[in-house]
Amino acid sequence: MQEKPKLPAIEGWYAEDDQGAHLIGSRCTECGTYYFPKQSLFCKSPHCQSESFEEVPLSRKGTIWSYTDAQYQPPEPYVAADPYEPYTIAAVELEHEKMIVLGQVISGVQVSDLKVGMPVELVLDTLYEDDEAKKTIWKWQPAQNASE
Amino acid sequence: MSDKIAIIGAGMHPWGKWGNNFVTYGLKAARDAIKDAGIKWTDVDFISGAATMRCGYPGYVAGATFAQALGWQGAEVNTSYAACASGSQALAAARAKILAGEAECALVIGADTTPKGFLAPAKGYRPEDPDWVRFHIGITNPTYFALYARRRMDLYGDTLEDFAAVKVKNAKHGLENPNARYKKAFSVEDVQNSAMVANPLRLMDICATSDGGAALIVCSEDFAKRIGKSDAVKVAAISTVTPTFANEVVEMPDIATDSAIASEAVRFREQLPKKAYEEAGLDPKDIDVAEVYDLSTALEMDWYEDLHLCERGAASYLVRNGETSLGGSIPVNPSGGLACFGEAVPAQAIAQVCELTWQLRGEAKDRQVEGAKAGITANQGLFGHGSSVIVTK
Ligand SMILES: [Zn+2]
């Protein structure tokens, strides 16, 4: 059987290049404030009048701000596996942007494997599968070179 | 001119899962508050309702709904909606009207009937709605509370026993509160034997949703004097500030914080009481009792620090030494808090002020904080809503 194609669960929010996976954000060209999801109308810093942005890849690496898991199945629009499989969640401070981004942690990593301050990196992984495709989302995984 | 208003009446309908029309809860609370104030319904010249979004059109126009249910009598009317802070917004509207000299005596009222099950966002593909995005990637309300709790454990050494102790304390406080929904004592073991929801938080660490209603009668100091109630407790401050960019803590329903690369990171939960303290001209050490939004046990401990009842990271010392229990140096949630009530959104901030009113009058019976002269409330909800009210003798 042919492998299902991989499609983003949310379009235009993340991508993969030769450096790996990254979130797509925007950066105010005047004050340097980053936005995720992208902001393109005006800068939300009350001290900045800018309406000029550049689209930028956000840091692929960061450190854990906090973490938890989901023992109970969330309601829709979450698409749950049957039977439901609990997953781990991390809030991660990106390396450069001074911004915390939430996301699932790749499967196989438990709460007991994590610690505040631990280095992690972003990957794209399956959020759910439907008849046509594997729908991907960003997830966090412990940094591969952390122990080297 | 005084910048304070008097609280001359307080009333509540017991919290529970009654399944009745929300108006019936509000009516009981309002009539009790009017009786408590010793005034006639026709003395009320402003009705300030906190809206509910879950009970159809009558809930959107709660002020008028209660005005009609109590009997039209020509008072002016207002309805406020600000998630968990709705009741405080309704109180702020009444205060503004009274201090502007446009009203003398106001009813502030909120009530809710909660639906069964999860409150989920609308379906479809709607990435422009942050609530849709976070549910789609599996981030529920308990996720946020668990993230705050786990960070406390790793940063400050809080333990699961500390979190459970907050539940045990609040359950004990609420035991004799006639308006509480849960009146049952629990042990640390009970909490730790309840189901894990979002590690490290268990079912008993997280509050439920309830039906309930609360009401206040507030008036100008002149009006209070005229009816012989010049010694009524006063509203000394109401803070309903919004967050400041860049918000430091990831808040429901967002999946990311603001970037603080060009702006200072600010804690919203700390900004709310800060403005209240400034407005009241009081210091955290002047506070004798606090009613805070314990959506989770660990979140109550965050509030100790955001209210400056202790240094950042020191909340566990207050818990371990019983300082926030009745009889301690700064009792928190003598009512039993959300742990014993469950959240009835538009009524909750009003209920917090009802409790402080009874505490400062010395009418709180078994849960009385001895000699309480000043109290503070704090709550925070979705979309940058929150409030903090200071009540003084
Ligand atoms: Zn800018």
Which of A74, A100, A117 is opposite residue B135, by nearest beta carbon? A74
Contact across the interface for A68 and B139, Cβ inside 8 Å:
no
Q: Is A41 on the interface with B (CB under 8 A)?
A: no
- Per-residue pLDDT of B141-190, as tens digits, reads 999 999 999 999 999 999 999 999 999 999 999 999 999 999 999 999 99
Nearest by CB to B262, which of A33, A79, A96?
A33
Smallest Cα–Cα separation from A40: which of A23, A63, A62, A56? A56
Residue A137, beta-bridge partner list: A125
- At residue B291, what are phi and psi to the nearest 5 degrees? -115, 110
Q: List, for chain B, all residue ranges whose pLDDT scores fall below the cut of 70.
A: 1-2, 117-120
Ligand 1 centroid to residue A49 C-alpha, Å: 7
Q: Select from B36, B9, B140, B83 the least CA-distant residue to B344.
A: B83
Which tokens in the block code for residue A84?
């439901």
Name the closest residue on chain A to residue B246, using Cα atoms: A45
Residue pair A125/A106 in contact by the 8 Å Cβ criterion: yes
CB-based contacts of B16: which residues, under 8 Å, 6+ apart? B181, B210, B211, B212
Helix-then-strand count for chain B, H and E: 14, 11
Shared fold status for B5-117+211-235 and B141-208+236-392: yes
CB neighbours of residue B21 within 10 Å: 16
What does the pLDDT average to over A21-25?
97
Q: What are phi and psi of B177, to 5 degrees?
A: -85, 115
The pLDDT value recorded for residue B334 is 98
- The two structure tokens encoding residue B244: 């400041």
Q: Do A34 and B246 touch (CB under 8 A)?
A: no
> Is the pLDDT at A147 greater than 50, yes or no?
no
Which helix (H) or strand (E) segment is A66 a member of? strand A61-70
Please answer yes or no on whether A67 and B261 come within 8 Å at the CB atom: no
Say if residues A77 and B135 touch (Cβ distance below 8 Å).
yes
Question: How many whole angstroms separate alpha carbon B47 and alpha carbon B34?
Answer: 12
Contact A102 B137 (CB under 8 A): yes
Interface residue of B126, B135, B136, B155 to substitute, partner A, most A CBs within 10 Å = B136
Q: Model confidence over A67-106: pLDDT tens digits?
A: 999 999 999 999 999 999 999 999 999 999 999 999 999 9
Domain B5-117+211-235 is in which class? alpha beta
- Distance CA(A96)–CA(A45), nearest Å, equals 18
With beta carbons under 8 A apart, name residues in chain A contacting B137: 9, 78, 102-104, 127, 137
Q: Are B254 and B277 in contact (CB under 8 A)?
A: no
pLDDT, tens digit, for every residue of B271-294?
999 999 999 999 999 999 999 999
Protein residues within 5 Å, CB atom, of ion ligand 1: A 28, 30-31, 33, 43, 45, 48, 50
Question: Is residue A1 predicted with pLDDT exceeding 70?
Answer: no
Interface contact A45-B262, CB threshold 8 A: yes
Question: How far, in Å, CA of B158 to CA of B82, rounded?
Answer: 32
Write down the pLDDT at residue B381: 83
Domain boundaries, chain B: 5-117+211-235, 141-208+236-392
Q: What is residue B121's predicted lDDT score, i.e. its pLDDT?
A: 75
How many angstroms away from the CA of B73 is the closest CA of chain A?
A: 45
At B383 the pLDDT is 82
Answer for the pair A5, A133: CB distance below 8 angstroms, yes or no. yes
Which of B120, B143, B198 faces A75 most closely, judged by CB atoms?
Answer: B120
**What ipTM is given for this predicted complex?**
0.96
**Which bin fits B177, alpha (ψ -120 to 50), beta or left (φ > 0)?**
beta
Are B100 and B45 in contact by the 8 Å Cβ rule? The answer is no
- Do B82 and B349 contact (CB within 8 A), yes or no? no
Asked if residue B342 lies in contact with residue B206, where contact means CB atoms within 8 angstroms, the answer is no
Minimum distance, in Å, between the CA of residue B246 and any CA atom of chain A: 7
Phi, psi (degrees; rounded to nearest 5) at B25: -70, -45
State both tokens at A129.
């599968």
Give SS3 for A80.
coil
CATH class of domain segment(s) B141-208+236-392 = alpha beta
B316, with CB counted inside 10 A (0-12, 13-18, 19+), is buried
Q: Is it the case that residue A146 has pLDDT exceeding 60? A: no
Written in H, E and C, the secondary structure of B172-216 is: HHHCCCCCCCCCCCCCHHHHHHCCEEECCEEHHHECCECEEEEEE
C-alpha B246, offset from chain centre: 25
Predicted pLDDT at B2: 67
Q: Which of residues 83-112 of A touch B (CB under 8 A)?
A: 87, 89, 91, 96-104, 111
Contacts of A104 (CB under 8 A, 6+ apart): A87, A88, A89, A90, A125, A127, A137, A139, A140, B137, B138
Q: DSSP 3-state assignment of B385? A: coil
pLDDT at residue B117, rounded to an integer: 61
